[in-house]
Chain A
Amino acid sequence: MYEAVIGLEVHVQLSTNSKIFSGSSTAFGAEPNTQASLIDLGMPGVLPVPNAKVFEMAIKFGLAIDAKIEQESIFDRKNYFYPDLPKGYQISQFEKPIVGPGRVTIMLDNGTTKTINITRAHLEEDAGKSVHDVFDGMTGIDLNRAGTPLLEIVSEPELRSAKEAVAYLKVIHSIIRYLDISDGNMAEGSMRCDCNVSIQPKGSDVLGTRTEIKNVNSFRFVEKAIDTEIHRQIEILEDGGRVVQETRLYDPDKDETRPMRSKEEANDYRYFPDPDLLPVVLDSSFIEACNASLPELPATRRARYIAEYGITEYDAGVLVADRDLADYFAEVANISGEGKLAANWVMGSVLAELNQTSKSIIEFPVSAKQLSDLVSRIKDNTLNSKTAKTVFDALLTSDGEVDTIIEQEGLVQMTDTSAIETIVDEVISENSTQATNYRAAPADKRPKMLGFFVGQVMKKSQGKANPQAVNQILASKLAD
């Protein structure tokens, strides 16, 4: 059968204050062309001057993926005509990019890991935006985005499925968020993905013809676009046809890819070193300073969480993927002193709620302090899992203290032995047949049969009885 060969080109907008070659603001959402300076407009006579910050950011990324940092990099011109490209060329890096070969590790569904090699990462300027369907027969051009710094990260074609591609993209997203070099907001276009997809018969080393799907703007669409494209290519080959090398667009509404009209003719970009710019030569101390200011990265943090909080490798992997989520978890674990319990809650109820409401942890209504109080009350037996869930649900909609909610809702766990004993006695007398059977049963069957009585006691106590105490008292009373 067929095997997919996928490589991704990820464009990350770097979160600088000003543009890569001009002093214009990069803020998102301004009125059209109000952040387009002489330089961004490509006015006659203007010249570019690079922003130092973009090198710092690119180098941090390079260090984070264990890549070779090039001390000398060169800006080239990529020449083509398009209305959103004011100069008729894009300033990019072609022969000498700032970041050389590196690698990242992705986690696969079966729990194993895979190393994906990154060919290079280079700096370039973003283009403007075209506004269609507003003016009759005309397209409007907004150049606010023109000149926004981009880091283009090019992977080797080592991804074998849409799922692997998404896993890779999530790792890249996680790294740029940890480094805080981009907001990584795919919906606003801060991170965009071009997918190079081809298929080949399994085990074959003859490369298939690849197509490039441009500008896919969410994790979900990346997965769907690649799957759709693989399916399309398989159908073509099965029908005895040939895949055409071309640039395509993914249409999420129809869940299909289609050829891009504007890219129909084969381009010849005529790259050459930009004569308005000189080679960028960075001294080792600059690179060293970038290295010294690197934050803890996902891989390191995962190892630390496993060691520090005693959580599983899988849980640690999920928790550290998102820097903000990892910070949240760590705060809950640190305040409550309960790593495993904190992990269970964050991985369980918190993530479920986030998925359901499509919110990020930053917008989550339950603070780390509140959740750690909840965890502490579970630990000291004030709450059991059932009552804890009630408190958690209350925290989602109100802003109270955990202890206040426990009091108001009367959720304090019944730890008074005599009260539990009373209920246990009632349950045993109401279920005498089961009690007789229990007593007649061999010792190894008994624990399982005990569950029935525990359930009855919990029900009678409205979930407030401490489950451990109930177990103990039941076992001793039924043993008579």
Chain B
Amino acid sequence: MSLTSDHVKRVAKLARLGLTDAETAEILAQLNSILNLVDQMQQIDTKNVMPLAHPLELKQTLRADAVTEMDQREKFQNTAPQVNAGLYLVPRVVE
């Protein structure tokens, strides 16, 4: 499978990565060579093989329904780019 620059633009949009046309062209070639490497997978017959998501195949443990977190807003918001009245600010969102 080979990508086109439209693919790259669409994927970059999904990933919210702003790319210039020059970057798109450069990345396109690199992505195609990576996909070329990746496509070696297709040589392997994986019919009836269950996908393996985690090597240990353990099951999830669950926690008890208890409130354990206290308010640390001030500390957490120290590292925020823009806050006002305890809210994180972003450019206006139109729903």
Cβ of B95 under 8 Å from chain A: yes
Contact between chains at B86 and A262 (CB < 8 Å):
no
B21 close to chain A: CB less than 8 A: no
B90/A33 in contact, CB under 8 A: no
Task: Give CA–CA (A273, B53) in the complex, Å.
Answer: 8
Q: Is B38 an interface residue (CB 8 A)?
A: no
Interface string of A47-61 (1 = CB under 8 A from B): 001111101000000
Is B87 located at the chain interface by the 8 A CB criterion?
yes
List which B72-94 residues lie within 8 A (CB) of chain A.
Answer: 72-73, 76-77, 82, 84-94
Main secondary structure of the interface of B (DSSP, over half): loop
Question: Which of A24, A38, A139, A260 counts the most B-chain CB atoms under 10 A from its CB?
Answer: A139
Q: Are B76 and A38 in contact (CB under 8 A)?
A: yes
Q: Contacts A24-B67, A33-B77: A130 and B88 contacting too (C-beta < 8 A)? A: no
Shortest B85–chain A CB gap in Å is 7
Q: Are A32 and B93 in contact (CB under 8 A)?
A: no
- CB-based nearest B residue for A56: B65
> Which listed residue (A41, A52, A131, A275) contacts B87, Cβ 8 A?
A131
Whether B88 and A140, one on each chain, are in contact in the complex, defined by CB atoms closer than 8 angstroms, is yes
Given contacts A36-B76, A37-B69, contact A262 B93 (CB under 8 A): yes
**Would you call B65 and A51 a contact (CB within 8 A)?**
yes
Q: A16 an interface residue at 8 Å Cβ cutoff? A: yes
Q: Which of B1-9, B23-31, B39-47, B56-64 contacts A (4 or more CB under 8 A)?
A: B56-64
Q: Roughly how many angstroms separate A260 CA and B95 CA in the complex, as a whole number? A: 6
Bound CA span A135–B14, Å: 28
- A220 CB to nearest B CB, Å: 21
In the docked arrangement, what's the CA distance between A176 and B86, Å? 33
- Write out the residue numbers on chain B whose beta carbons fall within 8 Å of the beta carbon of A132: 92-93, 95
Is there a chain B Cβ closer than 8 Å to A141's Cβ? yes
Quick check: is A280 within 8 A (CB to CB) of the other chain?
A: yes
> Taking chain A's interface residues, is the majority helix, strand, or loop, or is none over half, making it mixed?
loop
Contact A81–B72 (Cβ < 8 Å): no
In contact, A281 and B60 (Cβ under 8 angstroms): yes
Specify which chain A residues have a CB less than 8 angstroms from the CB of B85 in the assembled complex.
32, 134, 140
Choice from A32, A41, A52, A81 contacting B86 with Cβ under 8 Å: A32
Given contacts A52-B63, A275-B54, A281-B60, A35 and B68 within 8 Å (CB-CB): no
Q: Mark A129-157, 1 if CB is under 8 A from B, else 0.
A: 01110110111111100000000000000
Residue A455, interface by CB 8 Å: no
Minimum C-beta distance from A189 to chain B (A): 15
Query: Is A278 within 8 A of B92, CB to CB?
Result: no
Query: A424 to B71, alpha carbons, bound, how many Å?
Result: 78
* Shortest Cβ distance from A133 into B: residue: B92
Partner of A270, one of B14, B53, B65, B88: B14
Whether A17 pairs with B60 at a CB distance below 8 angstroms is no
Chain A contacts for B84, CB-based, 8 A: 135, 138, 140
Cα distance A57–B54 in the bound complex, in angstroms: 27
Interface residue tally for chain A (C-beta within 8 Å)? 51
Contact B90 A141 (CB under 8 A): yes
Q: How many residues of B contact A (CB 8 A)?
A: 35
In the complex, which of the residues A49, A142, A268 contacts B14, with contact meaning CB atoms closer than 8 Å? A268
Q: What residues of chain B lie closer than 8 Å to A53, measured between beta carbons?
A: 64-65
Any B CB within 8 A of the CB of A434: no
Complex alpha-carbon distance, A142 and B54, angstroms = 34
- A143 to B87 alpha-carbon distance, docked (Å): 8
Checking A24, A139, A277 against B60 with a beta-carbon cut-off of 8 angstroms, the contacting residue is A277
Q: Does B37 contact A (CB under 8 A)?
A: no
Q: Which of A16, A131, A278 contacts B65 (CB 8 A)?
A: A16
Report the minimum CB–CB distance from B40 to chain A (whole Å): 21
Do B64 and A52 touch (CB < 8 A)?
A: yes
Q: Is B49 an interface residue (CB 8 A)?
A: no
Residue B66 CB within 8 A of the other chain: yes
Q: What is the chain A residue whose CB lies nearest that of B93?
A: A139
What is the distance, in angstroms, from A352's C-beta to the closest C-beta of chain B?
A: 38
Closest B residue, CB atoms, query A286 = B62
A16 to B66, CA, bound (A): 9
CB-based nearest B residue for A142:
B87
Is the CB–CB distance between A25 and B67 below 8 Å? yes
Closest to B69 in A: A37
A55 with B76: CB separation less than 8 A: no
Q: Mark A297-340, 1 if CB is under 8 A from B, else 0.
A: 00000000000000000000000000000000000000000000
Q: Considering the chains assembled together, what is the distance between the CA atoms of A161 and B60 in angstroms?
A: 42
Are the CB atoms of A138 and B59 closer together than 8 Å?
Answer: no
Residues on A with beta carbons closer than 8 Å to the beta carbon of B16? 81
A372 proximal to B (CB < 8 A): no
Of B59, B67, B91, the contact of A278 (CB 8 Å cutoff): B59
Determine the chain A residues whose CB is within 8 A of the CB of B64 once the complex forms: 51-53
Which residues of the partner chain B approach A265 to less than 8 Å between Cβ atoms?
13
Q: A22-B69, A53-B65 are in contact. List 5 more A-B contacts (CB 8 A).
A: A25-B67, A50-B62, A135-B89, A273-B53, A275-B54
6 residue pairs from A and B, CB less than 8 Å apart: A32-B86, A41-B76, A132-B93, A141-B89, A261-B94, A279-B60
Query: Interface on A for B, CB 8 Å cutoff?
Result: 16-18, 22-25, 31-38, 41, 43, 49-53, 55, 81, 83, 130-132, 134-135, 137-143, 249, 260-262, 265, 268, 270, 273, 275, 277-281
